[in-house]
Structure 1
Amino acid sequence: MSAPVVDVWGPVAPNARSSFPPAPEPHDEWVLDGGTAWVYYSPLNRRQLIRPVILSDGFSNGSSNLDQLWHGLEENGDYRFVSELHATGRDVVILGYNDRTASITSNADTAIDCIRRAIAERAGRAKLTVGGFSMGGLITRYALARMERDPALPDHETSTYVSYDTPHQGAWFPVALQAFTHFATDKWGEAPVVGPALRQFSGMLNSPAARQMARWHIEKAGDTPAQAPERAAFLKALDEVGGWPRGVRKIGVANGVDTGTGNGVPAGATAVKCNGETLIDTWLKIQAQGDQVVARLQKADDEPTSVRTSGLPEIDGAPGGLFTVPSPAGDTGSFGLAALLMGLLGNTVDPDVIGTSCFIPSISAVAAGDISDPKALYRPITPEQSELDAFVCAGRNEGHTTMTEELGAWIVNEIVSVG
């Protein structure tokens, strides 16, 4: 979908339009409890919903934006995913949410509403394909599994579940970046220029969805990185519905490689540093194993804050989908965002910035191992390790949820092969 991981600069109002080119007018629009579904019928189906493919949005700021989603699916890669699905007679239902930072289980209620609506609107008896991008894959995974376990809910009538760079085993928000964001928000959250972006990004990192996705979370700069209680509660809820939908073929793709080759980000290196009007000798480092000071944060005329980690793997450089963020200067990465914020706070940023980092390790995207395990992160992935029935990984470590022919065509072929 090429939808960025987070959008700290974009609109926050429900259904707000963005700078993305306008999407084609949908053939139908379903107002759901907690969201909206935009329906695009295949030209082969004469304005009837015959073979529905439901594609869920994931984690980002505010409400889902159709223009942004369409751009990611059709116009921001080398593969026109909707058009290719249409050519096979599949109707595309793009599922969005009023609040993309709400809990996964809450937005799963909206996904269930969408599935029920698709079954009610469908002409004929063709099974559905249901899945999503990034956190959207977790939302629909839980929704389908719950529909199988809850006797009050109908049969989901789904044959294929698909996930696109979904954090099945957790996501990685660099602890150094989390700490800097919360630190800067505490100090300058009310500043007229940078304050709104700081508050927004800090709020997103502490949102229910982020707490559920992140394998390691801190609420403020001085906290010890750990699994948030909200994540533990979500994993328990997922386990209570069986973990996965059982009556479907489960497929998925990763925007990272399966060879174990990292993205080249050197463990322990300084990712970004600055000095200036508001920050003194402030720097963030790439995550390394063992005890490490990952950040030094100092407001001018104040004492420094050291951010320490212990026992974390070298995950910034791990194979997987890369952390990408849109900004006024163009798309940037995790530490690139920190550099932009440092500059907006009136500081001179060292030009040798290591801009990005891993966001969804490949083993997480294809449910093939524990991302807490340093060896598993960099181990080649084999089919028997995955909890999915079939998967494919990218030929290179690329931006999270980037739509490519390599991944998109594989999904389309898998959907068609089921019938």
Structure 2
Amino acid sequence: MSNSVVDVWGPVAPGVRSSFPPAPEPHDEWPLAGGTAWVYYSPLNRRQLRRPVILSDGFSAGSSNLDQLWNGLEENGDFRFVTELHAIGRDVIILGYGDRTASIVDNAETAIECVRRTIAERVGQARLTVGGFSMGGIVTRYALAKMEHDSSLPDHETSTYFSYDSPHHGGWFPVALQAFTHFATEQWGDTDGVGPVLQQLSGLLNSPAAKQMARWHIAKPGDTPKPAPERAEFLQKLDELGSWPRSPRKIGVANGVDSGSGNGIKGDVTAVRGDGETLRDTWLKTQAQGDQTVARLQKADGAPVSVRTSGLPDIDGAPGGVFTLPSAAGDTGSFGLAALLMGVLGNKVDPDVITTSCFIPSISAVAAGDIDDPKALYRPIASDASALDAFKCAGRNEGHTVMTEELGSWLVNEIVTAE
């Protein structure tokens, strides 16, 4: 599986790649409040910013990494997105953030500053294309909507807004994984070696951005899965801005299919089980409909903890972009991360691990349905169902934000058509 543009987890697990081949030096670099923008001029424009495209980073640990962004866009998939944009005379501005776990509202201020700087530096009157990958599509959606709504802000001069596998209707962190992560952090968060990893991962799941994105969130193992207050507050603010920017054409892509065909993961199946030095018969299950015990968590010298859910859809197997995580053992995902952590904690992990799960359901990525509804999750997406003006779904359920020729070329063609 090709690596994603946005690495959701960041370097949080032992053996995970934490460095990337160096990117070409940007032609210009803009320090911004809360972030940085890297400018790559099209060779057709002679080192002048004439036809700008802003590409926003998404959710992950810590600050944005230019090398990671560049490699995701140019090297890790089967389509060189920046090269193709340059070939049609578009200048590329890669927007990164000082803290990718910060509130979407806060990072939207950085995006607004980037849009304003772009307009100030632009030669001519060509309108902008603005969007992003994963949560970057939500950050820029909010930023453009705010620029239209707030009379103290200038016109964003944007003709096209785009999103790439963005969680418009929320994303899915398996409740079983959330519970295991918080449980392990409570027990071994002070342990040398694995402790900082656990603390970082638990902090990532409990960060402002994750709480705003996750449709179901728990802060500790015994919590009832539900939207965090931060999500409700963010959605209210977005609604007050009209929910979407109104003047640009809105387009988007999903790394999942539109046919309703799932990724093959069945509900209520043991995804990972560990037993050994620190754990006793600890297991996580895939999400099913109805009442379910999704996890059994037990420290070797402690009492078992059961984690239950009720009323959730069978979302792990839903059509959509799936978790990807590069590791020493190859690409893995949500439950694969749990398996890695169980092993590092000194336990034997059953070999039949279901490594990954759906992260951004297709209907969320193209704003075409409620991911609470199990029927909607697996229903074919009608062409007129989306809040977007145009969308493209992948031909298979693939890694979240993986840059493919199928999706990348569609976006490039749509950007050309918008003129």
What range describes the TM-score normalised by the shorter chain of this pair? over 0.9
Report the counterpart of residue 116 of structure 1 in structure 2: 116
Report the counterpart of residue 7 of structure 1 in structure 2: 10
TM-superposed CA distance for 1:72, in Å, is 0.3
CA shift digits 1:148-198 (9 cap, x unpaired):
000010000000000000000000000000000000000000111211111
Aligned mates of 1:187, 1:376 — CA distance in 2: 39
TM-superposed CA distance for 1:383, in Å, is 1.5
Report the counterpart of residue 38 of structure 2 in structure 1: 38
SS for the counterpart of 1:331 is: coil
SS for the counterpart of 2:308 is: strand
Q: Does 1:171 align with 2:171?
A: yes
Report the counterpart of residue 410 of structure 1 in structure 2: 410
Report the counterpart of residue 307 of structure 1 in structure 2: 307
SS for the counterpart of 2:202 is: helix
TM-superposed CA distance for 1:18, in Å, is 4.8
Report the counterpart of residue 295 of structure 2 in structure 1: 295
SS for the counterpart of 1:289 is: coil
Aligned mates of 1:381, 1:258 — CA distance in 2: 5
Residue 275 to residue 18, structure 1, CA distance change in 2 (3 Å)? closer
- Over the matched positions of the two proteins, sequence identity in percent amounts to 77
TM-superposed CA distance for 1:49, in Å, is 0.3
**Contact kept? 1:133, 1:163, Cα under 8 Å:** yes
SS for the counterpart of 1:359 is: strand
Aligned mates of 2:408, 2:389 — CA distance in 1: 17
Code of the aligned partner of 2:264: G
Task: Report the number of matched residues.
Answer: 414
Code of the aligned partner of 1:5: V
Residues 327-338 of structure 1: matches in 2 within 5 Å?
327-338=327-338
Aligned mates of 1:274, 1:141 — CA distance in 2: 41
- Worse-superposed segment, 370-379 or 17-26: 17-26
Residues 258-273 of structure 1: matches in 2 within 5 Å?
258-273=258-273
Aligned mates of 2:5, 2:360 — CA distance in 1: 14
Aligned mates of 1:57, 1:417 — CA distance in 2: 24
TM-superposed CA distance for 1:7, in Å, is 1.0
Residue 132 to residue 308, structure 1, CA distance change in 2 (3 Å)? same
TM-superposed CA distance for 1:301, in Å, is 1.2
Aligned mates of 1:182, 1:189 — CA distance in 2: 9
TM-superposed CA distance for 1:9, in Å, is 2.9
Report the counterpart of residue 350 of structure 1 in structure 2: 350
Report the counterpart of residue 381 of structure 1 in structure 2: 381
Aligned mates of 1:236, 1:152 — CA distance in 2: 21
Residue 24 to residue 343, structure 1, CA distance change in 2 (3 Å)? same
Residues 50-65 of structure 1: matches in 2 within 5 Å?
50-65=50-65
Aligned mates of 2:323, 2:82 — CA distance in 1: 24
Aligned mates of 1:331, 1:195 — CA distance in 2: 23
Aligned mates of 1:19, 1:150 — CA distance in 2: 40
Residues 12-27 of structure 1: matches in 2 within 5 Å?
18-27=18-27
CA shift digits 1:81-120 (9 cap, x unpaired):
0000000000000000000000000000000000000000
Residues 88-127 of structure 1: matches in 2 within 5 Å?
88-127=88-127
Code of the aligned partner of 2:345: L
SS for the counterpart of 1:384 is: coil
TM-superposed CA distance for 1:199, in Å, is 0.5
**Contact kept? 1:9, 1:326, Cα under 8 Å:** no
SS for the counterpart of 1:92 is: strand
Code of the aligned partner of 2:53: V
Report the counterpart of residue 14 of structure 1 in structure 2: none
SS for the counterpart of 1:385 is: coil
Report the counterpart of residue 284 of structure 2 in structure 1: 284
TM-superposed CA distance for 1:331, in Å, is 2.9
CA shift digits 1:33-84 (9 cap, x unpaired):
0000000000000000000000000000100000000000000010000000
**Contact kept? 1:254, 1:366, Cα under 8 Å:** yes
TM-superposed CA distance for 1:3, in Å, is 2.0
TM-superposed CA distance for 1:329, in Å, is 3.6
SS for the counterpart of 1:383 is: coil
Code of the aligned partner of 1:3: V
Over the residues paired in the alignment, what is the CA RMSD in angstroms?
1.2
**Contact kept? 2:111, 2:139, Cα under 8 Å:** yes
Report the counterpart of residue 233 of structure 1 in structure 2: 233
Aligned mates of 1:49, 1:351 — CA distance in 2: 53
**Contact kept? 2:13, 2:197, Cα under 8 Å:** no
Aligned mates of 2:197, 2:379 — CA distance in 1: 37
Report the counterpart of residue 81 of structure 2 in structure 1: 81
Report the counterpart of residue 131 of structure 2 in structure 1: 131
Code of the aligned partner of 2:8: V
SS for the counterpart of 2:8 is: coil
Report the counterpart of residue 162 of structure 2 in structure 1: 162
Normalised TM-score (structure 2) = 0.98
Report the counterpart of residue 371 of structure 1 in structure 2: 371
Aligned mates of 2:301, 2:6 — CA distance in 1: 40
Normalised TM-score (structure 1) = 0.98
Code of the aligned partner of 2:12: W
Residue 409 to residue 48, structure 1, CA distance change in 2 (3 Å)? same
TM-superposed CA distance for 1:23, in Å, is 0.2
SS for the counterpart of 1:166 is: coil
**Contact kept? 2:261, 2:378, Cα under 8 Å:** yes
TM-superposed CA distance for 1:10, in Å, is 8.1
**Contact kept? 1:272, 1:284, Cα under 8 Å:** yes
